[in-house]
Chains A and B, each alone.
Chain A
């Protein structure tokens, strides 16, 4: 776009009309406008005059007068840029910053390479709209196409969309898609109890129409009960699992796969920590029909869990039922490779009430951060981050097991695991915060029956000393 203009010498190089302009020629002759709203009083007058109106009030003459705001708004004083900066610096100090945090449970603070924010923040990515005009959006479209490819590679699926809101809604959309594919069938939706409770709640909010078909599958230790799955799968339309699960435990997808393959059910999976795919097979490899995940770990800071993107992948045969945006490769009339939003007739802006979903965003900028992060890591780095996460987490787990009296599960985990105490885990967290750090997530905050469980996450940022001090701290508990 920019290069084109420069090359062809264009319109934009025409001089700006000397007449207009809100720049004050001399001090105080013109009332200043606001820095985001260039229209000053002089402009306003000129524009009104051109239209043939006397006052800006007339612009709103279609709003019945009794419905208009008469009293001054209850609204704070406008702040200058310096004040805004100060306001937010002050807000940032309302809480202490922990010296180290071992919290995970769906949001992971990995190291974000410096190129990620620098590139993600570029105006051309940040301030563009959805690439509906392919001729002037090839960059965004190619980036989405590359993301779709990477998502397929990681999940071992054939097809990925451009991403959805987050991991929890991705799972819910996945179940809705499976139900669409099952059409008129009235079978059960089997949901593993080992799925993050927040994800379960979102699933219920999305599936209210099908609520009576949801059946929870119990746990056996810290994993899904395969026996319960086997007993119920006959009557199931959809099987929903998560691995690693809320306890950080890796589910036995080989076994689940065998059961699902012998049934008519659609298998929808969720993964909160996609770095796990650096050591684990993608769910697609086990025959999962719909693979969903939370992408935040790639390139996004924690942001209260509010800087996410939802991974959504499936098989080619379900293309027509896929929710969300999709980019495809094609050519232009000069046979140059080009990218374009495609299969849009699935989407709400065309299919309206019959659409596959009402979604019309893909959290694009968060996804872009993920894409840049993954590109930076590449084949070797992705593996190495995953192996280091596993190694550090295993070190910590073994050390807690051997040096404290706390119960550590023997189940296989990736970069987080759960320990059990005799007392409330929230008290351990509280004691940690007294020392200025966060020892993990007390799972009782997610479900009261898990009140003795503490979830601990370690990644490439946790150094030896931090891990060793956590173990020293935990020695006083049993």
Chain B
């Protein structure tokens, strides 16, 4: 049997959309996909100006493909992905909202895109103005006076935030203050939180989540000590709940001169509703790629601006974007800064998009309300509607009013031998991207659903209908759930083999 015939027999759709060789297999000697002007100056043989033992010639392994074939290659690859523009993407904790197209358009304006970071400042005005305005709007929404846009992602923002925490304590320690060694992190936290603390050199003190899915004041009191440098808390938390005691917890942390770091991963639920500064937060990062609609891009670039109260401003990464008169400037003279954390000034291509979004969601004409508040409200209402509709069929981990996401557990379905992963995979057969699974770790078989404000009631209803259908299948026909997915172009991928026989780059020998 030919390979094509074999593939056709196992395929669930047209073969052309299912099998695409690698670039390297498509390569054919002599084909090219580029054109360059003739070199207007004498062509230099590298070995005539560079020591021969440092030089190399053509890299023989690089592919040789014509332009049309390259385009097809990548278009076909693109078609093998689910994306927000395909359909509902209820991935909890990731805020997969619609990514407006105008944002992409303005980010492509040539005079904005071609700005070189080391041009004199008078040539950087468009870029610095955009960053300055974005900082200002983030301040308005959080109440935190000063922002840096340098961090390239949420986790990078965490790193900056905790380094600022450390710089604050180091300064005090030098003046005879106590040695601070520990940061409190709730057990429901994203993995990045403990990983970040370790990178900065802090020990973790884990605090349990209470029975209602939030941290209890008494549990903080129990572990409070002079060594506590601060707390790192996601709010709303990863259980999809607002940390109701946050203000009291902040007071406790401050009572031992600790700082309150708020992980703003879930900021989408509370924008315009409450300001983190009013909650007692000292430092916070925001994920522009979640709350402010910039594309996730299949894994970045993100952007993780960090905001601080004014007394921590001096520790922000260098340089700061400031405005003097009508001129935007880079302030570099910051002796107490934690230093530079990325090559230049952060993912500015993302800042443009986020600013476009934030300006679109401004104050509603003839009212005092803002669309940002409407955004949060709609996101929260949508999540609660899903919670309400799925409640008869799935165990809701914390069944009270939730924020932007709702967490189910597989407790009911487990009786029929079905686990969370099976439900997630079955959703693919119905044409949906699965929810976030097995997170937070503290919920058994967690399924985290975040609808965002982008979705219509019809979409929510269709999704809930499917979830209910799956819940029924678990009882009546568990086999179809266990075997899922069968209507996508790959089934049960052998992940063990990927590790046992690692192939992490293409090589001429076939698998």
Contacts and interface: CB of A to CB of B under 8 A. Distances in A.
B361 to A, nearest CB: 6
Contact of A464 (B41, B109, B485): B41
A261 interface: no
Interface in A327-386: 327-338, 340, 342-343, 347-355, 357-366, 368, 372, 374-385
A331 B494 contact: yes
Chain A interface size band reads 35 or more
Contacts, number: 718
A366 B303 CA distance: 13
A378 B83 contact: no
A378 B384 contact: no
B195 A84 contact: no
11 contacts: A8-B13, A38-B455, A62-B244, A95-B111, A135-B425, A135-B491, A159-B504, A168-B342, A308-B343, A358-B155, A362-B300
Query: In which size bucket is the chain B interface?
Result: 35 or more
B417 interface: no
B106 interface: yes
B199 A357 contact: yes
B338 A205 contact: yes
A124 B62 contact: no
A69 B377 CA distance: 13
A420 interface: no
Contacts of A351: 191, 195
A36 B360 contact: yes
Interface in B59-110: 59-65, 67, 70-71, 73-87, 89, 91, 94, 96-100, 102, 104-106, 108-110
B503 A330 contact: yes
A441 B344 CA distance: 14
A21 B275 CA distance: 33
A157 B55 CA distance: 16
* Closest 5 pairs between A and B when the two form their complex, measured CB to CB: A305-B344, A306-B348, A365-B297, A139-B80, A361-B300
B220 interface: no
B431 A5 contact: yes
A203 B347 CA distance: 19
Given A38-B456, A361-B155, A59 B380 contact: yes
B135 to A, nearest CB: 14
A281 B493 contact: no
A459 to B, nearest CB: 11
B377 A59 contact: yes
Contacts of B159: 358
Contact of B59 (A91, A154, A446): A154
B50 A119 contact: no
A408 interface: no
Contacts of A383: 57-59
Interface in B106-148: 106, 108-120, 122-127, 129-130, 137, 140-141
A358 B384 contact: no
A166 interface: yes
A421 B14 CA distance: 66
B492 A124 contact: no
A174 to B, nearest CB: 14
B83 A123 contact: yes
Interface string B274-308: 11001100000000000001011111111000000
B382 interface: yes
A357 B431 contact: no
B116, B122, B197: which has the most chain A beta carbons within 10 Å?
B116
A220 interface: no
Interface string B17-58: 111101110010001111011011111101001110111111
A40 to B, nearest CB: 10
B506 A149 contact: yes
Contact of A365 (B84, B301, B385, B492): B301
A73 B272 contact: yes
Nearest to A313: B505
Nearest to B50: A412
